[in-house]
Structure 1
Amino acid sequence: MRYLAFNSKLLAGCSGGILLWYPFAKFDCWDEPGWSYLFDCFIAPLLGPTARLLLSRKVGTARLVALDQPPLAAPILEPLGCSEEVLNEIARLANLPAQPARSPPLFDYFDYAAARLLGSKHALQKLEKSFRNFVKPVEHLKVLAEAVKPERLKYAGTVYVLACIDARKRFFLLVGDEKVRSRLHEKYIREKDLERLLIGKYFKAT
């Protein structure tokens, strides 16, 4: 297990909230040196491949300074499904059959946000085209999964990112000098999950 370093100044806005070490499966890009993908290994496996994809993020490897021991004492979440199997889940989404057009769906901000986190302009362009063509929601997932290109990723183990859930139930990830709000995690982590976090339901034994 590796723990990602962060700037302690980022803790200033986390008083009164929950601090915990949140697990991600790390995959390195063999054709894009300097970039890695992090796939959620806590709430996503409980909800399925769609959540796994939407909660993933592309991060510059230089920001991922890993330590053998946690730099801050905080509860550690038990990882779920943190293995190479993640790529099979994403590949299945990428291989979904194309769907015929239909009547206009509602624009889902979270699909768009996920595409931005994955850092693919091509995926954003295709996603926007999909909305214009009124395709089914499954097509949005297919576009995002294709952007990841799971066949070019190599499993690099489990890493923990310090997460902060503040008093307003906003979810932040602290990586290096950045404190990133994840509205997608706010969407998927339910009230009962927050309650279980407070009583240590999901924490690893120490």
Structure 2
Amino acid sequence: MESVFGLVGNGFVIVAADTSAVHSILVHKSNEDKIMVLDSHKLVAASGEPGDRVQFTEYIQKNVALYQFRNGIPLTTAAAANFTRGELATALRKNPYSVNVLLAGYDKETGPSLYYIDYIATLHKVEKGAFGYGSYFSLAMMDRHYHSGMTEEEAIDLVDKCILEIRSRLVVAPPNFVIKIVDKNGAREVAWRESIKDGVSVPSA
């Protein structure tokens, strides 16, 4: 029941993901951070099989760092997205990764951008995107309330609306979410939304 989604605002990209590590009917963790910082101005949020997700995102992170170390300049967000897509396409013909990625970044020349990359190496630059069962509801909420040029406060409010909708509509909904943002000041964590603390958990019968 994974839920990963993000959107582009006025000078930033905000990304949210559930923090549940689940196998079959068992919850192993409820504080798994599925949004990795690639470098100072890039985030990658991933969903999919836990082993593939962790291995692939770490592989991308280390290769992005290696490129910057060798060349003295960081990859642009578009270049990092195309590199990620290329690695998924290569793996697809050998030993596929079951992982879907939202790659968010900020570049001085082009500003904020968000890229949708799925497990069969489809790449699209998008204004809003989502993966997992929660995408049915988060995409519906973003279609209704999203507009270009959203402020940070408006975007966080929309993310909270998506989280509330996911929790209230999914039969087995993830209780906790992490929210991160990237803008001209860099990539950083905004907040954790914990059902016990934020008061939007479904009441018991």
Q: How high is the TM-score relative to the length of structure 2?
A: 0.25
Query: Which has the higher relative contact order, 1 or 2, with Cα contacts under 8 A spaced 6 or more apart?
Result: 1
Structure showing greater Rg = 1
More helix by share: 1
